[in-house]
Amino acid sequence: MRRFLTCFIIGLSLLLFFESVAWAQSRTFSSRSRVFPVGPNPCAIVIHDLNDDDIPDIITADRGELLDMREERPANDELSILIGQGNLEYTKHHPSLKTGFAPYAIAIANIDAIRWPDIIVASFHAVRGRHLNVFLNLHHENIFQPVNVDIATEGLGYYRHVDSEGNPVFNTPGLTSLVVRDIDGDGYRDILATAWSSDVIVHVPGQSEDFFGEARFIPASGGPRDLQVVDLNGNGHLDIVATLYNSNEVAIWQGSGGRTFTEVTRFLSRGRLPNKVRVADMNGNGRPDLVVTHRHTDDSIVIFYNDGNMRFSASQEILLGEHRDVLEYDIRDLVVVDLNNNGRQDIAVACAAAGSVVVLLNQANRENGGIAYRRENYTFSDGKPHAIAAGDLNGSGYQDLAVALWEVNAVGILHNQGG
Ligand SMILES: [Ca+2]
Ligand SMILES: [Ca+2]
Ligand SMILES: [Ca+2]
Ligand SMILES: [Ca+2]
């Protein structure tokens, strides 16, 4: 009860703090009125220079509507690429790249031996084995060569929604996020992806021939939705943290430095439907902390502070809305990055219901625990933000934000006016 009261008081005081300073400060971003069309329902967005001209490009995963799996086309199956022209202008790369159905998450990594960065996509509603797609960037030929990464799903269960006849509504394994890194130090990039429908984390080891070997599965009960791969306990080995969307938990798997990961802890995420997780040292004590957003009516962001030894006993809840039982914001995506170059990690979230991006600028550690944030709201007149990415789009030295908008099916730009 006492802990609850403390959290409540911190929450209330943060709310008052936001209100009191919101109009006293200049705004970090200017919103560009022009938006850039992409495919239907873009649900992931990344920023990366794909064509080696030092101008960042923008890639979106355009999932479309999720239809019955027995349909010929149960979702859309494309990526859009916006090639940066400089001065925050973009032209669309044609044709769109074909993925599995409902592309849901994108990673950029160099997969082949050719130096240009490649694109890796995880698809949620994929059928006929098109769960993971790699697009090799053959920039010298101006093409992206598709490579299908097959993961054998025999033996995997289905644990999510069923229709009135007991048939699965979604596909198995239902990939929702991915990270591409060399996790075992053998020099080849590996893929780790959450498989929400099947309660596993998929691990596809990189290898020299055919790029990827046979997938392995790490048990992850509770609906794994998003993951990050970071050394959380400072022992030099990468660990995994994932949100568990259906059990309202956060779980951590300790890495061995090799290919094995062991679940060492899971704890309630202090909100319902924990969706995105990012890892950053929020309070500047040298230990990476966890930032988790919730999609339910909580409309909350919770920061879990790292005690070391895989413990996260202190947490701070930030409520965006006024009512816990009303979906006012619907937080869909999260970036954690220093937006004003003051050495402190800031937060930006894409909020579909509110039609806005909320920016929380990390101000200072408060004496009674937690961090004070200065809040800014950026509302889009058309379109609902579903995904967000940060990157210095125009070489100003400050991080801009690219926002994937539903309804208008376009990318909007928030330009950091920095300095
Ligand atoms: Ca470029
Ligand atoms: Ca570790
Ligand atoms: Ca910390
Ligand atoms: Ca900052």
Query: What separation in Å is there between the alpha carbon of 28 and the centre of ligand 3?
Result: 25
Comparing C-alpha atoms, which of 161, 201, 194, 157 is closest to residue 177? 194
Greatest Cα pair distance, the chain, in angstroms, is 64
Query: What separation in Å is there between the alpha carbon of 405 and the centre of ligand 4?
Result: 25
Q: Which ligand is nearest to the CA of 306?
A: 3
Under 8 Å between Cβ of 319 and 298: yes
* DSSP code for 115: S
**Alpha-helix runs per DSSP H in 89-203:** none
Ion ligand 3: residues, Cβ under 5 Å: 281, 283, 285, 287, 289
Give Cα separations from 51 to 31, 35, 92, 161 (angstroms). Answer: 26, 22, 13, 41
Under 8 Å between Cβ of 413 and 383: no
Query: What separation in Å is there between the alpha carbon of 361 and the centre of ligand 4?
Result: 6
Whole-angstrom distance, CA of residue 109 vs CA of residue 114: 11
Comparing C-alpha atoms, which of 159, 343, 340, 118 is closest to residue 245? 159
Query: What separation in Å is there between the alpha carbon of 30 and the centre of ligand 1?
Result: 22
Q: Could you list the beta-strand ranges (E) of 156-286.
A: 175-181, 190-195, 200-204, 216-219, 224-230, 239-244, 249-255, 261-268, 274-280
Q: How many CB atoms lie within 10 A of CB 187?
A: 8
Q: Which amino acid, residue 365? A: N
pTM for this model (two decimals): 0.93
Q: How many CB atoms lie within 10 A of CB 148?
A: 13
Query: What separation in Å is there between the alpha carbon of 363 and the centre of ligand 4?
Result: 7
Tens digit of each residue's pLDDT, the chain (419 residues): 455 545 544 554 455 444 444 445 689 999 988 999 999 999 999 999 999 999 999 999 999 999 999 999 999 999 999 999 999 999 999 888 999 999 999 999 999 988 899 999 999 999 888 999 999 999 988 899 999 898 888 889 999 999 999 999 999 999 999 999 999 999 999 999 999 999 999 999 999 888 999 999 999 999 999 999 999 999 999 999 999 999 999 999 999 999 999 999 999 999 999 999 999 999 999 999 999 999 999 999 999 999 999 999 999 999 999 999 999 999 999 999 999 999 999 999 999 999 999 999 999 888 878 899 999 999 999 899 999 999 999 999 999 999 999 999 999 999 999 96
Under 8 Å between Cβ of 118 and 109: yes
What string of H, E and C letters represents the secondary structure of 260-317?
CEEEEEEEECCCCCEEEEEEECCCCCCCCEEEEEECCCCCEEEEEECCECCECCEEEE
Structure tokens at 144: 């992206």
